[in-house]
Chain A
Amino acid sequence: MGTESRRRAPLLAAGLVALLALVVALAFVSLTQGSRDIAFADAMRALLTLQAGDTMDGTVTLELRVPRTILGILVGAALGLAGAVLQGVTRNPLADPGIMGINAGAALFVVVAIAWLGITHVQGYVWFGMAGALVATVIVYTIASMGREGATPVKLALAGVAVTAGFASVTSAVMVTRTDVLDQIRFWQVGSLAGRYEPVVLGVAPFLLLGTVAALACGRTLNGLALGEDTARGLGIDVRRARWATFAVVTVLAGAATAACGPIVFVGLVIPHVARFVCGPDYRWILPYSLALGPVVLLLADVVGRLVARPGEVQVGVLLCVLGAPAFIAVVRWGRLAEL
């Protein structure tokens, strides 16, 4: 935030614009490429007229690829931002939405929806996923808030681990005894942008957009919190309220993203590190960079997954697992894993 960061500002702004342009380019690739061969002209005709024209190519472009691409952008941005906010507020470089119990909560509710409510496809159980994420984070936050100091980062991490373990054991108990449920939930649990169409996108988009705007407004607060609790207070930040509010933002973002696509690893954990590596410690830059980098990674992985296994597809969650581990090791090994 000193003179150095001010000197770098034009450079960082240019980089951000370039990244956003890259998102647009990748979105275009995602709309025109896939496991089906569609002539460029046909795809463009469908996109420009928004008419499927009663052809399979038009239907695939408009009803499969458009929602998939929108979801890729929104979810990528949401996971990147959620990770950045969470790492900032907990000052834990390994924080990702998983440690807040979001994945475990969403998984448990989805399992319940499949096992006892007879809900058999993603359009139906996305709402249970969101409710589960919300319930889990409320429990985590409530437990962590007990005691005098309130929800400190350490207590949040511990409560998150405990709640995750508790939820996961119930989920496992159901899946071990109900193979039909296991068979179904595998499709959600692997993490995918495929098979989610207009109803899912329209359902989660408001949450993701709202969360994104709110997250972008957190920069100054996170900068303050990064200096430590006492300093933050000295700067006039209400630490408790700041923690509570940022947590709510993460819950909305990661909860909606996870409910729609299943637990997608790697994006929420690594993207903020890459952003920090580029931008330095200023969250007013880290947040927009995370917002742009998330969709870049998610769309790229999804497009690759669609092209490598034609006429089938590889789920983006699988691809990210394969690519994510080496990438994360590289970040840890060569990057300055910024002290938080």
Chain B
Amino acid sequence: MTSRIRSAALVAASLALPLSACGGSSEAEPASGADAPSGPWSFTDGSGEEVTLDETPTRIIAHAGAARALMSFGIEPVAIYADESVDSDPNLRDLDLDGIEIIGEEWGKIDVEKAASLRPDLIVADWWPAEEAHSGVENGVEATSKKIAELAPMVGATQGESILALAEGYEDLAKSLGADVDDAEIAADKERFEEVRAEFEEVATSRDDLSVYAMSPYEDKVYVANPEFAPELLDFIAWGLDLKAPETPDPDFPYWETLSMENADKYQPDLILWDDRDDLDNVAELNADYGEQQPTWFSIKAAEAGAVASWPAFWLHTYGDYADQLEQLTEAIRDADGTVGD
């Protein structure tokens, strides 16, 4: 039961990442930093539906992850709704949020009244194919939150099988909104990502001796990720990493296989990807702490050896973040000892 709660919480958190970048301060001044092209505008949403407007939208409300993506291309929303506190949301760190209204800091809760007062002409949030909904209006959110979809058309890239595709989707969207995606500064992130990705692929492909599992150790359960439902894990696999799926994902919630602490050692990877979205870039300490609390955690030899790397679970949206994370992961894979889990 608790495992379901945790899993639900994880998924909720993962689903909650779309940022609604609602760019609207007060009067007619567009919040968008780019020069919006005039004339009819259209964009094909993650759901496959084509949305068409007479004018290019300038007053955008975005969910946190989508906001990060848009802002990386210089498109500034008028408002953002997040699924957690602005201080802890990995997608809002290091962003200049001056002049942007925050209309939600908890999953499922959006201040739609405030959103309406900003007169948005577009809502941007990830599309979740499994739930057939955009972030912020999935099943389970507060009924009033869903009304945000009535303020303006809702579009976003899809959280399907690839974070790269998601990032590309937001690039397309930003372009349609007038962003100069070829601007040297903006394009630099993408170029860096391409380089890092190529190197990741080279290193990952060369390490076919390495077996890897993604895990989310939490309280007295170990949740082993099913990559089928984690776009960034599917990317890693596509780029050559031998990331394994658990044998028996929980039937009612196949995002994970839940292991009790008695069975923590069921899988013996050489490298553990640790779901660190609550505490970024701190996996070594998380692993040590968890091992101290849980007598059986270090029965996973990789955990005992400290062979853990950060798994940017369910929050990546931009080329820049993806490049950073991939770079770390590439190093971890290069340095990993392929015999630890044998």
Contacts and interface: CB of A to CB of B under 8 A. Distances in A.
Interface string A56-69: 10011001110000
Nearest to B224: A311
B259 A314 contact: no
Contact of A186 (B5, B84, B248, B250): B5
Contacts of B47: none
Contact of A195 (B5, B107, B219, B299): B219
Contact of B2 (A34, A64, A310, A315): A315
Contacts, number: 75
Contacts of A65: 262
Contact of A59 (B1, B2, B5, B295): B295
Contacts of B221: 312
A34 B262 contact: yes
Interface residues of A, number: 29
A56 B296 contact: yes
Interface in A156-208: 179-180, 183, 186-187, 190, 192, 194-195, 197
A306 interface: yes
A314 B1 CA distance: 6
B260 interface: yes
> What band does the interface of chain B fall in when counting residues whose beta carbon is under 8 Å from A?
20 to 34
Contact of B220 (A186, A195, A314, A318): A195
A197 B297 CA distance: 13
Contact of B296 (A60, A123, A179): A60
A284 interface: no
A59 B219 contact: no
Contacts of B296: 56, 59-60, 63-64
Contact of B293 (A123, A194, A314): A123
A145 interface: no
Contacts of A306: 260, 262
A313 interface: yes
A125 to B, nearest CB: 12
B84 A311 contact: no
Given A195-B261, A311-B263, A312-B221, A56 B2 contact: no
A271 B220 CA distance: 28
Give me the 3 closest cross-chain CB pairs, A-B, nearest first.
A195-B220, A36-B262, A63-B295
Interface of B: 1-3, 5, 9, 84, 88, 106-107, 219-221, 248, 250, 257-263, 265-266, 278, 293-296, 299
Given A35-B262, A59-B296, A186-B5, 10 more contacts: A36-B260, A36-B262, A56-B265, A59-B295, A183-B9, A190-B2, A194-B220, A306-B260, A313-B260, A315-B2
